[in-house]
């Protein structure tokens, strides 16, 4: 029996259920990654994500090579590539870990196709703590309020213990031919806009585990009190590693509890990530449509022009906003508190559609995933699950006074921001935003999501 392990957003060796299941096959396995940018409904990766993927695949290839297993790379529609490799290599079963976004219908169709051809196909729980579709409210519907969702999760049996890779996994022979990673051109050449990203980040499973160890060895010191202060190094910075499945949330969960530190607040943030994935499972078009139907009639500006460009470049004249946007462009990352401030500024002070901002983050964040990115943008805009009320508008001036009073963060990323003219009046734009919300609420014939 020869197994094909199909890697996707689970680029790791440990706690990889599909890989662990292949260890039982006496004829060995084939490890395959498919870069699918052509199938219907598949969202092309942003530039920062492509940079990270290149590095993550390099590290996975090295980890598999230590076990003398090649990583086969192919590009194209999965509905064509996977059956082609199966036929070429005489594969008898295909194993993968589940995805929970809109692409899952491709997985279901492939599973049906393989089984119809006599090839066994099995999928396993993916990069979540609890399977989406299993945590439902009393009416059998997905939760729309985080606190109720997380209580329901915590009332369930604990997430399963992470699996380890048995020493007996080995490669099948012969192996199918793959494509060179460099030929995919996932990383820029000239000009190299990713130099700042490369200086800050190291993709791969080993780096993910090291980052978690450092965070927990310090006892998650100061996380609960300092997580809102962007100049403090209190965050775990695990989000891009989780996004690519270089470490699983199950591993994070159990390692955190075993560390004996005060990790309740930290795990609640893992729970927020979980909430996003469960919401995406119920609403696969999350990046296209707000969950609150009132916002279908919202009068977003149709021609934001220069103000959108000023926001993207970090030239709004509001230091905290500008520092966040420049951190994003230079490093592929932005502190969570500042993400909320910059998103609020775009959607409420500038009245620019949240989908425009979500698309910009999708292209520039190394940790942008199909669930958290649109989910969080909808939360800030006021049209998502458990959303902040629309009238909650983050004032970038008072936010800076609260969370960067001495200007350390602003000085690091936007030292000249105070010399930039402000592109909008905060008081006037706030009044305009509330009027637009009243207009949308009056135009909507459907009730707001509760």
**Are residues 148 and 122 part of one domain?**
no
- The 8-class DSSP code of residue 8 comes to S
- Name the active-site residue from 80, 131, 237, 269: 269
Residue 38 lies in a domain: yes
Rounded to the nearest 10°, the torsion over CA 213, 218, 224, 230 is: -80
Question: Distance (Å, rounded) from C-alpha 440 to C-alpha 21?
Answer: 52
**Are residues 86 and 105 part of one domain?**
yes
The first and second tokens of residue 214, run together, are 């450092």
**Are residues 84 and 20 part of one domain?**
yes
- Name the active-site residue from 58, 80, 193, 336: 336
The first and second tokens of residue 293, run together, are 């139907």
* Sequential DSSP letters for 145-195: SHHHHHHHHHTSPPPPPPP---TT--B-SSPPP---GGGG--S--SS-TTH
Question: Distance (Å, rounded) from C-alpha 77 to C-alpha 427?
Answer: 50
CATH number at residue 50: 3.40.50.620
Residue 236 lies in a domain: yes
Question: Distance (Å, rounded) from C-alpha 94 to C-alpha 8?
Answer: 13
Question: Distance (Å, rounded) from C-alpha 367 to C-alpha 338?
Answer: 15
Q: What is the pLDDT of residue 444?
A: 53
Question: Distance (Å, rounded) from C-alpha 347 to C-alpha 295?
Answer: 12
Number of structural domains the chain divides into? 3
Residue 188 lies in a domain: no
Residue 63's domain spans which residues?
3-126
**Are residues 142 and 67 part of one domain?**
no
- Name the active-site residue from 51, 354, 360, 413: 354
End residue of a domain, out of 224, 248, 282? 282
Instruction: State yes or no: is 413 an active-site residue.
Output: no
Question: Distance (Å, rounded) from C-alpha 378 to C-alpha 313?
Answer: 22
End residue of a domain, out of 104, 126, 148? 126
Residue 176 lies in a domain: no
Question: Distance (Å, rounded) from C-alpha 321 to C-alpha 417?
Answer: 9
Distances (CA, A) of 401 to 39, 181, 253, 404, 409: 47, 46, 34, 6, 12
CATH number at residue 136: 1.25.40.80
Instruction: State yes or no: is 269 an active-site residue.
Output: yes
**Are residues 153 and 121 part of one domain?**
no
Distances (CA, A) of 21 to 4, 12, 17, 96: 11, 14, 6, 10
**Are residues 273 and 153 part of one domain?**
yes
- Name the active-site residue from 80, 193, 237, 300: 300
CATH number at residue 344: 1.10.579.10
Q: Where are the alpha helices (DSSP H) in 222-368?
A: 223-226, 239-243, 249-258, 264-282, 306-313, 319-331, 336-344, 354-364
**Are residues 327 and 232 part of one domain?**
no
Q: What is the pLDDT of residue 447?
A: 37
**Are residues 257 and 132 part of one domain?**
yes
Question: Distance (Å, rounded) from C-alpha 184 to C-alpha 175?
Answer: 21
- Name the active-site residue from 244, 272, 311, 360: 272
Confirm if 245 and 204 have CB atoms less than 8 A apart: no
Q: What is the pLDDT of residue 383?
A: 92
Residue 376 lies in a domain: yes
Residue 187 lies in a domain: no
**Are residues 428 and 305 part of one domain?**
yes
Q: What is the pLDDT of residue 101?
A: 93
- Name the active-site residue from 51, 377, 379, 413: 377
Question: Distance (Å, rounded) from C-alpha 153 to C-alpha 145?
Answer: 13
Residue 198 lies in a domain: no
Query: Cα 388–129–379 angle (5° rounding)?
Result: 10
How far from chain centre, in Å, is Cα 439? 33
- The 8-class DSSP code of residue 420 comes to S
**Are residues 111 and 226 part of one domain?**
no
Instruction: State yes or no: is 336 an active-site residue.
Output: yes
**Are residues 274 and 315 part of one domain?**
no
Residue 174 lies in a domain: no
**Look-up: residue for tokens 């500024």?**
345
Instruction: State yes or no: is 377 an active-site residue.
Output: yes
**Are residues 298 and 243 part of one domain?**
no
Contacts of 44 (CB under 8 A, 6+ apart): 37
End residue of a domain, out of 282, 306, 324? 282
Spell out the per-residue pLDDT of the chain, length 450, in tens: 899 999 999 999 999 999 999 987 889 999 999 999 999 989 999 999 999 999 999 999 999 999 999 999 999 999 999 999 999 999 999 999 999 998 999 999 999 999 999 999 999 998 999 999 999 999 999 999 999 999 999 999 999 999 888 788 899 999 999 999 999 999 998 778 999 999 999 999 999 999 999 999 887 778 888 999 999 988 899 999 999 999 999 999 999 999 877 889 999 999 999 999 999 999 999 999 999 988 888 999 988 889 999 999 999 999 999 999 999 999 999 999 999 999 999 999 999 999 999 999 999 999 999 999 999 999 999 999 987 777 889 999 999 999 999 999 999 999 987 778 899 999 999 999 999 998 888 765 443 332
């Amino acid at each position: 029996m020869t197994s094909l392990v199909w890697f996707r957003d689970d680029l790791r060796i440990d706690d990889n259920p599909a890989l662990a299941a292949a260890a039982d096959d006496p004829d060995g396995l084939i490890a395959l990654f498919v870069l699918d940018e052509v199938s219907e409904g598949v969202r092309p990766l942003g530039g920062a994500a492509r940079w990270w993927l290149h590095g993550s695949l390099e590290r996975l290839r090295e980890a598999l090579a230590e076990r003398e297993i090649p990583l086969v790379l192919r590009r194209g529609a999965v509905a064509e590539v996977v059956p082609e490799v199966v036929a070429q290599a005489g594969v008898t079963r295909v194993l993968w870990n589940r995805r929970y976004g809109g692409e899952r219908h491709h997985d279901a169709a492939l599973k049906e196709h393989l089984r119809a051809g006599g090839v066994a196909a099995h999928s396993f729980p993916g990069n979540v703590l609890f399977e989406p579709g299993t945590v439902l409210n009393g009416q059998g519907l997905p939760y729309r309020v985080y606190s109720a969702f997380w209580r329901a999760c915590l009332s369930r049996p604990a997430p399963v213990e992470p699996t380890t890779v048995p020493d007996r996994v080995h490669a099948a022979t012969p192996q199918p031919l793959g494509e060179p990673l460099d030929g995919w051109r996932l990383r820029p050449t000239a000009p190299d806009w990713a130099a700042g990203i490369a200086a800050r980040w190291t993709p791969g499973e080993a780096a993910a585990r090291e980052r978690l160890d450092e965070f927990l060895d310090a006892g998650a010191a100061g996380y609960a009190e300092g997580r809102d202060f962007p100049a403090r190094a209190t965050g775990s910075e695990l989000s891009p590693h989780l996004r690519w499945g270089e470490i699983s949330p199950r591993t994070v969960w159990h390692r955190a509890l075993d560390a004996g530190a005060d990790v309740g607040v930290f795990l609640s943030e893992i729970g927020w990530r979980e909430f996003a994935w469960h919401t995406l499972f119920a609403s696969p078009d999350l990046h296209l449509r707000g969950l609150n139907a009132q916002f279908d009639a919202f009068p977003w500006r149709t021609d934001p022009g220069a103000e959108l460009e000023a926001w993207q470049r970090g030239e709004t004249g509001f230091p905290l906003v500008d520092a966040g946007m420049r951190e994003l462009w230079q490093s592929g990352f932005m502190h969570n508190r500042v993400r909320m401030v910059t998103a609020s500024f775009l959607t409420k002070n500038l009245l620019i559609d949240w989908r425009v901002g979500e698309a910009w983050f999708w292209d520039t964040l190394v940790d942008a995933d199909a669930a958290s990115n649109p989910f969080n943008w909808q939360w800030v805009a006021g049209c998502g699950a458990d959303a902040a009320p629309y009238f909650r508008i983050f004032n970038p001036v008072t936010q800076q006074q609260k969370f960067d009073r001495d200007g350390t963060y602003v000085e690091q990323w936007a030292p000249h921001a105070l010399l930039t003219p402000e592109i909008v009046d905060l008081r006037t734009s706030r009044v305009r935003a509330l009027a637009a919300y009243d207009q949308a609420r009056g135009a909507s014939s459907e009730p707001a999501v509760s």
